[in-house]
Chain A
Amino acid sequence: MNDVIGLAPWLIGIPLIGAAILLLGGKATDRWGHWLGVAASAASGVIGFILMFRMIGTPAEERSVDHHLWTWLSAGGLDVDLGLRLDPLSLVFVMLVTFVGTLIHVYSVAYMDHDPHRRRFFAYLNLFVAAMLTLVLADSYLLLFVGWEGVGLASYLLIGFWDTGRPSARENAVAAKKAFVMNRIGDMGLIAAMALLFAGTGALDFATTLSDDTLGSLSEGTATAIGLCLLLAACGKSAQFPLQAWLGDAMAGPTPVSALIHAATMVTAGVYLMVRSGPILEAAPTAQLVVVIVGAVTLLFGAVVGTAKDDIKKALAASTMSQIGYMMLAAGLGPAGYAFAIFHLLTHGFFKAGLFLGAGSVMHAMGDQTDMRRFGGLSRFLPITWITMGLGWLAILGIPPFSGFWSKDGIIEAAFIPVEGQPWRAWVFGTVAVLGAGITAFYMTRLFFMTFGGRRPRWTENQHPHEGSPLMWWPLVFLGVGSAALGLVLGVGGTFVTWLEPVVGHAEHHEPVLPVPVIITSTLVVVVLGALLAFRMYAMSLVPEEAPRGSFLTRAARRDLYQDAANETLVLKPAHGVARLLQVGDRDVVDRGWSLLPQVLSWFGAVFRKAQSGYVRSYAAGMAGGVLVIAVVAWLVVGLGGAQ
């Protein structure tokens, strides 16, 4: 392992250099810039593969390596060393980010072919890859925070990529700002968590803070506070309730961005943070419970919203939110759930990226149309997209043996494991997980058949859908194969769980409250029921071109369960009120008070100004008079001849 560890910094360095060249090179790099971006990402991927294979050849207990680079900060008692941590967990992310990332780079070459700013797009993508790798490879919370902000920046730049400044592009700018601001709330949580952690343990690196000795010295209250702050950070980055509102709007960015950043990688950083900080959460059962609740709420929230969306990308975004809810739920369950959280993250990264790229392919074919009610019957015209998206659809449904089954089923089983003293938990969260699986089946089937199914196309005039260039469908094929087979490869025999064991710890085997076969069967039954319902509604019958009014729940879901209205009422309005109050107070109390002071001073000045006649003799008279007064006073005080 140690002979190739020197390559690790280049994982980050190559994409970063690529981004720098593309950003600083200007128009000179326009012609070949996109290929440089692909090459940088691919080079990172190759290094990742090398490290991966070396790690597989290493004994399990030696797989976690901290690679010290240099001392970053040395201030008083604070010494922050900049270093990279290579362990099974971070390498899973490295593989996901570089592999999926490279595929999406390749896809983007074709997808952004006609965009005049394609070079800039690839610069941002490279920047994102570098930042994401920094995030997952960091060996301390501080460096993790650097990557955390880096991906936030890249996300902001890419959501607003099509913001040309024209009024028609306003949506992009607003979406970018919304994502930026909501992410800042989460970042505040991360900063607060770091501050608390530093105050409690005096260190920020994983090796120290996450060790049993250090955590043993923390009180449960502190650990809970840190855990909740970390959860806030994770909520912001991963679009979890209550900071979920930005993800849907973020779909304003180019589709490859939605696939890479807002589905496969960046939004899962919150899950990574939770799993990485697992020991802290285990020391704070309350925080753990909150994590599970947040996961469960988001799971249902995203699923319900997904059922009503007609915009294909927004439906997928809601689905992403819901799937990350599954991961969060698992991350809150302790060692039993960590491995499955990451496993689901990995499989989700593949099938959701595939679904998004497929959606992009559909949009590409339909002239940037995103309304699913204007699709239909596309399976004949886009066979490759149809098959690959079908694989992704089966994967997300959790149909065995596709990849989603292996990971999601693990989470559902883990949710049913009873917690000592709180028997209700297993039932509640287990049921929610199963229910979520059912709704997922419904909306994904709806999406799939509204797009590809149906005999009668509902296209707008003069559309001739056809597959894009090989650059676009080859990545789809790769991702489709991954969606189909990854779970089988890694899930059978618990390969993946064993792989992660050095990091997340060995989970004691607990029996769920229901027998495992019962859980699997009932989940499958619910999923098939949901899928059949959707098939009946959207494949067997005609889909109206205009959305029907729908029930109250449908309308609410269409409007994201009033999340924006809720934010407006609960946060914006009171904040505006406070701001207005402060403004009035500042103007009428502070400003007026301070302007009183110069007024008084200028009045004094006007009075004393008269004494300054400019006549030397007046001043001399003043001095002489003063001498006289002092002499008289001295005389009166000391007395005549009193000096004797």
Chain B
Amino acid sequence: MTPAGLEISGGETVLFWVIAPLMVLAALGLLFVKRAVHAAMCLVFVMVSMAILYIAQEAPFLGVVQVVVYTGAVMMLFLFVLMLVGVDASDSLTETIRGQRWIGVLIGIGLAVILGGVVANATFPPAAGLGGGDPGGVANPQALARVLFGDYVLAMEAVGVLLVTAAVGALVLTHRRRLTPKQTQESVADRRIKALPDGVVLTPLPPPGVYARSNAMDTPALGPDGEQVPQSVSRVLRIRGQERPAPEGPAVVVSTSSTRGATSSTPESERDA
């Protein structure tokens, strides 16, 4: 069924030695980069490289699936969630659990040594290969499909159910119940009308004054009676004390401080609302 013996071509050797160190580097990036987004990019690189290795290893279908499912769907999901959680939420790399870092490093190295050691010491049969890209060979996707929908059809169905369940589960988990009534334009308008007796101004507030001397937003406008209108200056500026008094003019001049004191009781938050 399969050609006895498998020679690994020179091209593949080169491919491996180019890709493998890069993959390890990218994987290490997962350990050392600060930002989760960068870690995700590293992982994307590892996965795409993995797809290439699959194709090189006579698994073209899996290579494509790897790109579509992992890089295309799973990693995108990761990125979405990262955006939801906050892209720039960088992760401090200082360890908080005492001894965890050394334990982790030791276990990592230990795993690598043990697994590598086992692989190195095991005696494998001579590689058989899958018959390359030969249309009659077992490597082509039709053969895989035959196995999947022949021997493993029940598992396929079960996995399908699992996927649906997971999708519904995710919906249920992330569903947020609305605790307050939904705000509509109508309800906002009603609320403001009802607040009218409390001194809320319905109309747009007057814009700041524009004078020959300066047309900054930090100068209050003058009303028709020549009075200064404090609400015309942004609330932020007023709180910071960066407001500038209006220039003296032919109109009646009123001390700014008394004006401010007299009108400061007017609620002004509506400007921002």
Which residues of A pack against B, CB within 8 Å? 613, 615, 617-618, 621, 624-625, 627-628, 631-632, 635, 640-641, 643-644
Contacts and interface: CB of A to CB of B under 8 A. Distances in A.
B122 A643 contact: yes
Contacts of A615: 97, 100
Contacts of B84: none
Contact of B114 (A618, A625, A631, A644): A631
Interface stretch (B68-76, B102-110, B228-236): B102-110
B145 interface: no
A625 B122 CA distance: 23
Contacts of A628: 107, 110-111, 114
B203 interface: no
A618 B114 CA distance: 21
A537 B117 CA distance: 122
A628 B111 CA distance: 7
A154 to B, nearest CB: 69
Contact of A621 (B104, B117, B121, B123): B104
A617 B100 contact: yes
B97 to A, nearest CB: 6
B118 interface: yes
A632 B114 contact: yes
Nearest to B95: A617
Top 6 nearest A-B pairs (CB, nearest first) are: A640-B121, A641-B121, A624-B107, A631-B114, A628-B110, A621-B103
Decide if the interface of chain A is mainly helix, strand, loop or mixed: helix
Contacts of B118: 631, 635, 640
A13 to B, nearest CB: 69
A628 B103 CA distance: 12
Nearest to A629: B110
B95 to A, nearest CB: 10
A635 B104 CA distance: 21
12 contacts: A615-B100, A621-B107, A625-B107, A627-B111, A628-B107, A628-B110, A632-B110, A635-B118, A640-B118, A641-B121, A641-B122, A641-B123
Nearest to B96: A615
B230 to A, nearest CB: 54
Contact of A635 (B107, B114, B123): B114
Contact of A617 (B97, B110, B117, B122): B97
Contact of A644 (B97, B110, B123): B123
A625 B109 CA distance: 11
Given A625-B107, A628-B111, A613 B121 contact: no
Contacts of B97: 613, 615, 617-618
A635 B121 CA distance: 11
Interface string B119-159: 00111000000000000000000000000000000000000
Contacts of A618: 97, 100
Nearest to B111: A628
Contacts of B107: 621, 624-625, 628
Interface string B187-212: 00000000000000000000000000
A641 B122 CA distance: 5
A560 B97 CA distance: 85
